[in-house]
Amino acid sequence: MAWKTGITRLLSIDYPIIQGGMAYISDGLLAAAMAHSGCAGVIASGGFSTDQVLEEIRRAKDILGPGKTFGVNLMLQMPNKDDVAQVICDEKVPFVTIGAGNPVPWLEPFHHAGVKCIPVVPSVKLAKRVQHAGADALVVEGMEAGGHDGKITLMALLENVLPEIEIPVIAAGGIVDGRGIAAALVMGASGVQMGTRFMLAEECRLHPKAKKTLIDAEDTDSTVTGFTTKDSVRGLKNSFSEKYLKAEYSGAPLSELMEMAKGTTRMAAVDGDTENGFVLAGMSLTHLTKIQPVEEIVEELIISTEKCLAGAPHLI
C-alpha cells in the first residue's frame, strides 16, 4: 500500500524515499530502478558532462515511459551548471534537487519550465529563504552524509528546521534502514534521501572494488577531509585520506590540498582505486553487507519502517 506524505503527494510516488544524486554513479538506470520500485531516483550532474546528463535523462525516459517520476541533481559548483539547468528545463524533468550553492535564483526558471524544485539546505536560515522563494520541498542534510556534508547533525537539523517550515522536509544523512526512516517520519519529516545504501544496488555503476570496500567497512572507518577549509567531504579511511589529513592539519595551503584531492572521487567510483581514490559514503556503515537489486532494497526498507512505526505506540 502506498504511503501518504507530503513528498509522496508532491512527486506522485508510493514511498517517500529519494535516492541521492551521487557523482559519477547516479545514472538513468539507477533512477529508473528507483521509480519502478515506487520511489524517486535522481540522476547526478557531478562528474557528468552536459551531454552525459542529457543522455542519462533520455535513458531513464526510455526505460520508464511517460508519467514516471525521476529527478536530476544540479550541483551549483559545477562549471557547466547553466547548460545542465537548460537541459533539465528542455527535457521537462519532473523535479530537480539543488545543492552546493545558493538555490534561490534557480527556482523561478525551473518553475517556469514546470520543474519542481527541492533545494538541499544546511541551516534554518536558508530553509526559510528557499521556502519564501517558492521551493516545493527541501532536503536537510546532516554531517552524517557521504560526500560534501554540513557541520550540523541530522537530528539537530530536524529539531531546528521542522518547527519553522511548512513545505515538505526530506531528511538526509546517515539513513540506511527502516529505523532511520521511521525516526525521520516520527520527527515530522515527509520523507528521506538516501545515497550510501543504494551504492550497493545491482543497478548502481559504482566499481565492484568500491562496493566491496563499502561492505567491508566498520563504523570507525568514516572520516572527513577538508574540515579546516570549510569544504568538508565524508568518505572511508584509506591511504588517500591519511595523506590528505596529515597535510591538512600540518597547515598545507589550500592549493596543495585541492590538487591532492583532484580526481579522487572518480578514481574510486569509476576506476576502483580504493586506496588512492576516495570512496564517498555516509557514517552508517555496519549494516551494509550485500549487493542487492533496488527492488529488494526498497522492499526491505518498507517492511522494516512499517515494523518500527507499528511498534511506536507501545513505547509509552
Residues 27-54: pLDDT tens digits? 999 999 999 999 999 999 988 999 999 9
Lowest average pLDDT, out of 56-60, 216-220, 311-315, goes to 311-315
Is the residue at 277 inside a domain? no
Residues 84-124: pLDDT tens digits? 999 999 999 999 999 888 889 899 999 999 999 999 998 89
Q: Are residues 199 and 162 in the same domain?
A: yes
- Structural domain of 264: 208-269
| H/E run at residue 222 | strand 222-225
Q: Are residues 218 and 310 in the same domain?
A: no
| Number of folded domains that form the chain | 2
Instruction: Tell me the C-alpha distance between 133 and 72, whole Å.
Output: 20
Q: Are residues 84 and 181 in the same domain?
A: yes
Helix then strand count (H, E) for the chain reads 14, 11
Is the residue at 1 inside a domain? no
Pairing of the two strands 147-148 and 233-236: antiparallel
Whether the CB-CB separation of 131 and 104 falls below 8 Å is answered with: no
Q: Are residues 20 and 143 in the same domain?
A: yes
- One-letter amino acid at 54 equals L
- Look up residue 267 and give its three cell numbers: 578514481
Q: Are residues 141 and 265 in the same domain?
A: no
CA dihedral 258, 260, 261, 264 (to 10 degrees): 150
Is the residue at 274 inside a domain? no
On the CB side of 40, CA atoms within 13 Å amount to 31
Q: How many CB atoms lie within 10 A of CB 38?
A: 19
Pairing of the two strands 233-236 and 222-225: antiparallel
Q: Are residues 49 and 191 in the same domain?
A: yes
Instruction: Tell me the C-alpha distance between 211 and 199, whole Å.
Output: 7
Task: Answer whether residue 310 shows pLDDT above 80.
Answer: yes
Instruction: Tell me the C-alpha distance between 192 and 127, whole Å.
Output: 16
Is the residue at 276 inside a domain? no
Q: Are residues 14 and 46 in the same domain?
A: yes
Is the residue at 279 inside a domain? no
Residues 150-163: pLDDT tens digits? 788 999 999 999 99
